[in-house]
Amino acid sequence: MKQDHGVEGTASRRPRRLTEFVLVLIALVWMIPGFGLLITSFRSADEYARSGWWTALYRPGELTISNYVEFLSNGNLLGTLGSTLLIAVPATLIPISLATTAGYALAWIPFKGRKAVYLSIVSLLVVPFQLALLPALELFGTIKLSGLPAIWLFHTAFGLPLGVFLMHNFFAGIPKSIIEAARIDGAGEGSIFANLALPNALPGIASLAIFQFTWTWNDLLVALVFAGNRTPITVAIQQRLNDFSTGIEVIGPGVLLGAVAPLLLFFAFQRHFETAMKTGALH
Amino acid sequence: MDQEARHRATTARRWWVLVFLIPTLLILSSLVLYPALRTITDSFLDRFGDQYIGLENYSALASSPRFHTAVLNSFLWATLFPLTVVTIGLVLAVLIEKVRWETAFKLVLFLPVAVSAMSSGIVWRMMLDDSPERGAFNAVATLSASIVSPAGDLAGARPTTGTITLNPDGSIAFPVEVSSAGAVANLGLIGIAEVDLPGNATTANPATRQPKSITGTIWRDAGSSNGQKGKIDKDEIGLSGILVKLISPSGSTVAQTYSVTGGRYAFEGIAPGKYSVLIPSEVTRTRWTGIEWLSPSLITPAAMLAGLWIWAGFSLVMIRAAMTRLDRDVTDAARIDGASEAQILRRITLPLLAPTLSVIGITLAIYGLKVFDLIIGIAPEPVQDDANVIALEMWRSAFTGLGNRGLGSAAAVIMFVMVVPVVALSLRSFRGSETRT
């Protein structure tokens, strides 16, 4: 086969060129929707109804920042972004703190029935949150809980099964000798958890944070049911969908501004996330 | 360590277990377990959750066409959708392997995951807008179509009188019998767009009969206020530059010509007999207006297209990560033994990737069964029934209009029944891949 190498080299270069061309084309196609939205958010509703966003490429004069000016000067709309943040941050931090502590206990503190508790928690992954909406709403009603705390608790509850599963797996990956050594040195479980286990599970925590934050930030249905007058940006957009072409002045900037936070988080935690994926811990 | 110290350590540990686990267990039992069980019992109650009505909610769902659509669509979301996304992810993963800008490519495809599903739906609603003037997809599609098969000079034209026939292919035929004195065949047409009228439009010019000839006028048989159909009235416009063919009874083309100013045309030196004057279909061919993605029959494929846009990057990244974890030695050994790249892919790489592919597929199937925001985003109100999925149906019956607690609960239970087998499968393959690594 060796003598063929030169021939093969030139023969395989052409398919590679073709492959690269196809991949560039695919990447472009993948970027077009986002690009189109970006342009659309800088056009008026009249222009939107009259012509496609690409016409702005050869008539850049029609582009305007008025949608953004209006969005950012409208207290209600700006408030929806604030509500989204007020929902997503605690709805990410609470389940992470609970999932790490529970995951640690289930991985390293021996007690009777540990395996059964772990399996019951993980088996709750089968419950779609839709199955709990109505009774949970009623339950919150009887204990007079509504708005933000209700959403936090509900998101926490449905983030926990996956969170406990992921964190348990990460903690279980820590070599037993390290934990044992710390115990013999007299360290309590609290300090082993805080000083040993947590730092070792950062990639897992980062992945969980990305999952949970993206999910709660982007959520529509849970907010529709529990938010009350704490309208997040997704609900504000949804309310304008029925009148799509006039609503576009809000929808355009809203969708773009709403996508900023998850993207920032993704870029910030990208390295941890990749580590987690490479080790196969997310499978 | 002496007995007492060990005892103290165990007691302390017990406290830590309680502190670490109790909040989680409390929340899970009150907000997941209890509500789930409650919903199951509620599904046998009436719309207010007061009275036991047996299986009535379920039979109401079973006889609702809207619910049938929801179940069918959810089934497609749980099967066809993951299959497509995994296949495309795999193809891309294989293609990207030898390319140097792999990271950039993965990033571009992965980013849509971060955007909310509703926003993705909205973006694609704009992209797939039916109108080629506003939807980018149809703009490109109709532009390419108009290059391959351009619209005719008289797009959409049709005859005004019964003596002239409009064939199914859009061509227009006028049967004539020619004697030695010749014949006149006037073709009056309507349905012509203003833009298709000749720039230097003149009034129609009636043709005169000539020996051994077929003469006639092609004109727009409308536009005169008190005109008659089939008659060239004053002020009606002649259509010049139009291709006309003369067809023999056997169907072959005897001659062809173009109409001149005033709409007149002439076939000269024609032997007596029966003919047919034909305006061919390419003249009347209308402009293709693209694919109506947001119409009832295509809205679900359109939504899945948006879903593919969101998830293809995830599928690609996961498959690539698994590929780099594969043992290089095995493929290298096969390559040295003379195996072709295709053989290596089919016999070695694919079987080794199978667990990863199934994990991705199952993850996407679960996503597919729960899809909701995406449909809200992409489907305009009038076609929401056609894009219906089980999660949307659950929300609509429980929370919109008057709200029907029993019916909404029953829909949620059916959703649960569809999700359970898929999640059970996923836990099995999760465990499988855990022991593997």
Task: Please report the ipTM that was assigned to this predicted complex.
Answer: 0.88
Q: What percent of chain B has pLDDT over 70?
A: 96
Q: State the pLDDT at residue B327.
A: 75
- Same-domain check for residues A169 and A53: no
Last residue of a domain, one of A66, A94, A118: A66
- Same-domain check for residues A61 and A113: no
- Same-domain check for residues A7 and A83: no
Q: How far apart are CA A127 and CA A120, in angstroms?
A: 12
Q: State the pLDDT at residue B152.
A: 83
pLDDT by 10-residue block (mean), chain A, 283 residues: 44 75 95 94 89 89 90 90 95 97 94 93 92 95 93 97 94 91 89 92 88 93 92 93 85 91 84 65 46
- The chain-wide mean pLDDT, for chain B, equals 88
A224 in a structural domain: yes
Q: Enter the pTM of the model.
A: 0.84
**Option in B16, B99, B412 nearest A189 (CB):** B16
Q: State the pLDDT at residue A186.
A: 86
- Same-domain check for residues A204 and A249: yes
- Nearest-Cα distance to chain B for A5, in Å, is 12
- Same-domain check for residues A173 and A273: yes
- Same-domain check for residues A60 and A98: no
Task: Verify whether the Cβ–Cβ distance B118 to A237 is below 8 Å.
Answer: yes
Longest dimension (CA), chain B: 131
B284 vs B195, higher pLDDT: B284
- Same-domain check for residues A105 and A54: no
Nearest CA in chain A to B135: A52
Task: Verify whether the Cβ–Cβ distance B325 to A242 is below 8 Å.
Answer: no
CB distance from A82 to chain B under 8 Å?
no
Task: Verify whether the Cβ–Cβ distance A224 to B95 is below 8 Å.
Answer: no
A272 in a structural domain: yes
Task: Verify whether the Cβ–Cβ distance B118 to A220 is below 8 Å.
Answer: yes
Question: Looking at beta carbons, which residues of chain A come within 8 Å of B22?
Answer: none
**Option in B14, B321, B373 nearest A220 (CB):** B373
Task: Verify whether the Cβ–Cβ distance B19 to A101 is below 8 Å.
Answer: yes
A228 in a structural domain: yes
Is pLDDT above 60 for B70?
yes
- Nearest-Cα distance to chain B for A148, in Å, is 15
Distances from the Cα of B393 to the Cαs of B61, B76, B418, in angstroms? 10, 16, 14
Neighbours of A205 (CB within 10 A): 22
HSE (side-chain half, CA atoms, 13 Å) at B424: 6
Residue type at position A216: T
**Option in A130, A265, A277 nearest B321 (CB):** A277
Chain A (97-156) residues lying within 8 Å, Cβ to Cβ, of chain B: 98-99, 101-102, 104-106, 109-111, 117, 121-128, 130-136, 139, 153-154, 156
B132-188 residue pLDDT tens: 888 999 999 999 888 888 888 888 888 888 788 888 888 899 998 888 888 888 888
Question: Looking at beta carbons, which residues of chain A come within 8 Å of B373?
Answer: 218-221, 234
**Option in B96, B356, B395 nearest A221 (CB):** B395
A51-65, A103-117, B197-211, B347-361: lowest mean pLDDT where? B197-211
Last residue of a domain, one of A43, A66, A89: A66
- Same-domain check for residues A22 and A38: yes
Last residue of a domain, one of A66, A89, A115: A66
Is pLDDT above 80 for B208?
yes
- Same-domain check for residues A45 and A179: no
B226-281 residue pLDDT tens: 677 888 887 888 888 899 999 988 888 889 999 988 889 999 888 888 999 999 98
Question: Looking at beta carbons, which residues of chain B come within 8 Å of A260?
Answer: none
For residue B85, give the 3-state DSSP assignment: helix
- Nearest-Cα distance to chain B for A73, in Å, is 22
Task: Verify whether the Cβ–Cβ distance B118 to A98 is below 8 Å.
Answer: no
**Option in A33, A133, A188 nearest B12 (CB):** A188
Q: State the pLDDT at residue B400.
A: 87
Q: State the pLDDT at residue A278.
A: 60
Nearest CA in chain B to A135: B35
A199 in a structural domain: yes
> B398 near B47, Cβ under 8 Å?
no
Chains A & B: contacts with CB separation below 8 Å: 268
Token look-up 């931090």 returns A93
User: Could you tell me the CATH number of the domain that includes residue A222?
Assistant: 1.10.3720.10
A283 in a structural domain: no
Nearest CA in chain A to B309: A30
Task: Verify whether the Cβ–Cβ distance A134 to B9 is below 8 Å.
Answer: no
Q: State the pLDDT at residue B404.
A: 92
Nearest CA in chain A to B21: A102
Domain extent at residue A89: 74-278
> B20 near A121, Cβ under 8 Å?
no
A31 in a structural domain: yes
For residue B199, give the 3-state DSSP assignment: coil
- Same-domain check for residues A219 and A269: yes
Burial group, residue A43, by CB count within 10 angstroms (0-12, 13-18, 19+): buried
Task: Verify whether the Cβ–Cβ distance A132 to B433 is below 8 Å.
Answer: no
Distances from the Cα of A189 to the Cαs of A113, A160, A263, B14, B113, in angstroms? 19, 21, 36, 10, 38
B369-381 residue pLDDT tens: 999 999 999 999 9
Q: State the pLDDT at residue B8.
A: 79
Choose the mutation target among A100, A104, A120, A131 for the interface with B, i.e. most B CBs under 10 Å.
Answer: A131
CB distance from B408 to chain A under 8 Å?
yes
- Same-domain check for residues A243 and A106: yes
- Same-domain check for residues A55 and A160: no
**Option in A102, A124, A258 nearest B33 (CB):** A124
Per the structure, how many domains does chain A have?
A: 2
**Option in A117, A139, A218 nearest B116 (CB):** A218
Q: State the pLDDT at residue A113.
A: 92
> A272 near B132, Cβ under 8 Å?
no
Q: State the pLDDT at residue B132.
A: 87
Name the band, by pLDDT with cuts 50, 70 and 90, for residue B355: confident
- Nearest-Cα distance to chain A for B308, in Å, is 10
**Option in A33, A135, A156 nearest B35 (CB):** A135
